[in-house]
Amino acid sequence: MSSLNLVGVVMIGQLGAAPVAAVGLANQIFFLLNLMIFGITSGSAMFTAQLWGKRDVRNIRKVLGFALSLGIAAGVLFLIIAEFFPSQALGIYSTDALVISLGSEYLRIIGFSFILFAISFCYSAVLRSIGDVRTPLFVTITVLSLNTLLSYTLIFGKFGFPSMGVQGAAIAVLSARVVECMLLLWLIYRKNSPAAGKLTELFSYDLDFARRILKPVLPVVANELLWSLGITAYSVAYARISTDAIAAMNIVSSIDNMAFVLFIGIGNACAILVGNYIGAGEEQQAFRYAARTLALGFLGSVVIGSIILVSADSILTLYNVSITVIDYSHRVLIIIGLLIWLRATNMILFIGVFRSGGDTRFALLLDGLIIWVVGVPLAFMGAFLFHLPVYWVYLLVMSEEILKWLIGMYRFFSRKWIHNLAHTVAG
């Protein structure tokens, strides 16, 4: 998934700073949807992972159906924004008329993929929580290959097609999402997976069941919403510094996503393992696996950070942008390489440990609020009050990660994050 975004940004990067900034800002709208659905699905996966520890397929399908209801509703909301209010939404981030115009064209096209994306994300999350990671992986590789081919063809006008630039990139993404949803559903129901519920099974939940699911899930959604709005505020600060600054951050973001993907995988795997053990009543083993995962994440982050520091110059040669954008990007990559261990540890703590243990209220207080108490004020002070370059503003943003790490590690060793949610659903 991170590669799919990187491919588009690299290709668009050949067209100049304005198209890169436009696609990047349009993807900020998708980023908000992505995080909202991630909150829904990761919150639901707390239940499905623990329910799989008891092999309770009936309730797994009911949780999936509830997640689909919420996810599709979110997809419809963002589709309306993309189709009817794209320029107003992008105007929050930038005042550059060209960037807003190009971004609106891109957003209107990819908006039709939002509902399909929500459906795919919900099913993939359940598959991973029950240990089937191969099916989503196969689908992702297939979609990435298709998106790469279509992006190259439509952006640059190859194989007899016209050169469509930003619009071509959007059509490639939309086509890939259609194939992703259709292929994933076909594989799930063909294999009669535990996720292959009939409509009557998926949507058989009642209000009492929904209430029991929502109680720990809503803090996750609120957490993701607050965090994503905080990231949006960072983007506003970067964009208002200059178009070069936001172009640099969009380039860095696509590289950072690729570097960080290992830890997203480790965090998700941790959530599956820890959730399965908590659901089976083996809390000591759950804590042991969580501790090992944190150690593995730290070691991996040292390796990935070192690779970023060594290869930053080589990576940036892929982009046809100004020297200023390259300089900004290089400086931010250095900061990322040095501090990725901090972000990786926090991500595994919140996504892999606290959520799998059902400790969502604490995670909301720590992850969802600190970004607004510490990170956002410092970002705006750096950008608007002190008029710092974008790389210094990014370094100020990283200060929130230090505070989260200190408090989060204390919570981890207290073991107060372990809660058995499978009993709640069965109750």
Q: Taking residues 153-165, report their average pLDDT.
A: 88
Q: How confident is the model at residue 424 (pLDDT cuts 50, 70, 90)?
A: low
Token pair 């993907």: residue: 261
**Among 272, 274, 331, 344, CA closest to 305:** 344
Most confidently modeled range among 172-186, 204-218, 363-377: 172-186
Q: pLDDT of 117-153, one tens digit each? A: 999 999 999 998 888 989 999 998 899 889 889 989 9
User: Residue 214: CA atoms inside 13 Å, Cβ hemisphere, count?
Assistant: 10
Torsion of CA 173, 177, 178, 184, to 10 degrees: 150
pLDDT above 70 covers a percentage of the chain that reads 96
CA distance linking residue 333 with residue 369, whole number of Å: 26
The answer to pTM > 0.85 is no
The whole-number pLDDT of residue 348 equals 93
HEC profile of 58-88 = HHHHHHHHHHHHHHHHHHHHHHHHHHHCHHH
Using an 8 Å Cβ cutoff, are 195 and 188 in contact? Answer: yes
**Among 395, 96, 101, 32, CA closest to 249:** 395
The whole-number pLDDT of residue 209 equals 85
Token pair 């239940």: residue: 47
pLDDT beyond 90 at 207: no
In this structure, which amino acid lies at residue 223?
Answer: N
Q: pLDDT of 278-315, one tens digit each? A: 887 888 999 999 999 999 999 999 999 999 999 988 88
Q: Taking residues 203-212, report their average pLDDT.
A: 85
Please tell me which residue, 249 or 427, carries the higher pLDDT value.
Answer: 249
**Among 121, 217, 124, 242, CA closest to 425:** 217
In this structure, which amino acid lies at residue 79?
Answer: L
Q: Taking residues 21-45, report their average pLDDT.
A: 84
The whole-number pLDDT of residue 367 equals 82
Q: How confident is the model at residue 359 (pLDDT cuts 50, 70, 90)?
A: confident
- Tallying the residues shown for the chain, one arrives at 427
* Alpha helices per DSSP H over 113-202: 114-129, 134-156, 165-190, 199-202
Q: How confident is the model at residue 228 (pLDDT cuts 50, 70, 90)?
A: confident
**Among 276, 259, 274, CA closest to 349:** 274
pLDDT beyond 80 at 270: yes
pLDDT, averaged across the chain: 88
The whole-number pLDDT of residue 422 equals 67
Please tell me which residue, 27 or 378, carries the higher pLDDT value.
Answer: 378
Give the C-alpha distances (Å, rounded to integers) separating 273 from 50, 194, 276, 287, 426. 9, 18, 5, 10, 20
Q: pLDDT of 51-69, one tens digit each? A: 888 888 888 999 999 999 9
Q: How confident is the model at residue 174 (pLDDT cuts 50, 70, 90)?
A: very high
Q: pLDDT of 181-200, one tens digit each? A: 999 999 999 999 999 989 88
